[in-house]
Amino acid sequence: MPLFSSRKPKSVDGAPLRIDTVRKGEGFDDGTLWALLAGMVLFGSIHIGAWHFEFPTHADRMLWRCLTVYSVGCVFIALVAVFLQKAAKKARKEDADGRVGKALGCCGKFLYYTGLLLYVVARLVILVEMFRTLLYLPTDAYISSRTPYN
């Protein structure tokens, strides 16, 4: 079958093959949100495990600790943002003027986007810090035990 065929794809058990999980403008459903937040906590917790590792400087150690704690703690910021968004929807339905709903919605969006931006920055700094720490290893750490030059 050619790469760009005009025929429709075959069905599997009578159902056509398609991806219809992308909804335009609806955001995450609750299951996806909880899975994403749980993944953020687990991934950040792995890095908190390096709490007592050796770092080149005291500043590097404190930076690592602060950023890993934030990468776990920003889940709570995301939960507050989601709560504010849901409260804003409810307030818009009940309030004829809509000021309270708009204010709650703006606060929720600000928390969401600020927390997300800070999370991305924290993860990038942690990634750079991991490779930067390799520069400060002693030269003996780079000698393999399986080389014929030992």
Please give the pLDDT value at position 37: 87
Reported as a pLDDT band with limits 50, 70 and 90, residue 7 is low
Q: Is the pTM of this model over 0.75?
A: no
Out of 54-63, 80-89, 96-105, 110-119, pick the least confident: 96-105
Q: Is the pLDDT of residue 68 over 80?
A: yes
Which single residue is written with the structure tokens 């000698």?
143
Please give the pLDDT value at position 134: 87
Q: Is the pLDDT of residue 62 over 90?
A: yes
Q: Is the pLDDT of residue 36 over 70?
A: yes
Please state the domain extents for the chain: 30-136
Q: What is the mean pLDDT of the chain?
A: 81
**Residues 6+ positions from 89 with CB-CB distance below 8 Å:** 101, 105
Q: pLDDT tens digit string along 87-103?
A: 888 888 887 777 888 88
What's the rounded Cα separation, in Å, for the pair 22 and 147?
52
